[in-house]
């Protein structure tokens, strides 16, 4: 890996460690929302954002906002199962199409490296899921 990329990752790891000391508890308002917007759809955001363009809509009233927030929470929790299953399938595919076991079709041999990044990402997510579960178990 390029030195610049190592430096970038080190910066993120260092910064993440630093935020352990920086994160006020609890964080309120925009900061929380902005931080999560890119990686999660902030269905909860509207309720703390105050008055965006579609404020005073049905969305910001308790009913629909709560329904969407509930659906989102459930979806995120459920997605762990899907990602875990996908990771296992991709690892099996990767192993089964390994050229070391013998001849395989050209299509599969060439497809295998295409899915390696996805396999790596899904496997890491599965590992983090397990780690978070363990941490919460001992909390």
Q: Could you say which residues in the range 55-84 bind another protein, by CB under 8 A? A: 55-59, 64, 67-68, 71-80, 82-83
Find the shortest distance in angstroms from Cβ 102 to another protein. Answer: 22
2-21 residues near another protein, rule: CB under 8 A: 2, 4-5, 8-9, 12-13, 15-16, 18-19, 21
* CA dist 134 → 60, 65, 76, 111, 130 (Å): 36, 32, 18, 35, 6
Selected from 100, 105, 114, 137, the binder of another protein by CB under 8 A is 114
User: Of the candidates 40, 41, 65, which has an alpha carbon nearest to the alpha carbon of residue 54?
Assistant: 65
Give Cβ neighbours of residue 96 (< 8 Å, ≥ 6 apart): none
**Number of residues this chain uses to bind another protein (CB under 8 A):** 83
Find the shortest distance in angstroms from Cβ 96 to another protein. Answer: 16
Selected from 88, 115, 134, 137, the binder of another protein by CB under 8 A is 115
Selected from 62, 109, 120, 134, the binder of another protein by CB under 8 A is 120
Give Cβ neighbours of residue 85 (< 8 Å, ≥ 6 apart): none
Please say which residue, 30 or 99, places its beta carbon nearer to another protein. 30
Would you count residue 91 as binding another protein (CB under 8 A)? no
Q: Give 69: exposed, middle or buried? Use CB within 10 Å, 0-12, 13-18, 19+.
A: middle
For residue 53, give the DSSP letter. Answer: T
19-38 residues near another protein, rule: CB under 8 A: 19, 21-38
For residue 101, give the DSSP letter. Answer: G
């Amino acid at each position: 890996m390029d030195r610049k990329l190592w430096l970038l990752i080190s910066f993120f790891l260092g910064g993440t460690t630093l935020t352990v000391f920086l994160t006020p508890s609890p964080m309120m308002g925009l900061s929380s929302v902005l931080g999560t917007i890119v990686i999660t759809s902030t269905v909860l955001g509207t309720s703390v954002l105050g008055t965006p363009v579609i404020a005073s809509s049905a969305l910001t009233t308790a009913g629909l906002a709560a329904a969407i927030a509930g659906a989102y929470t459930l979806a995120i929790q459920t997605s762990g199962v899907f990602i875990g299953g996908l990771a296992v399938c991709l690892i099996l595919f990767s192993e089964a199409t390994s050229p070391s076991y013998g001849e395989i079709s050209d299509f599969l041999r060439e497809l295998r490296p295409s899915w390696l990044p996805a396999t790596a990402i899904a496997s890491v997510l599965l590992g983090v899921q397990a780690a978070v579960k363990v941490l919460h178990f001992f909390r």
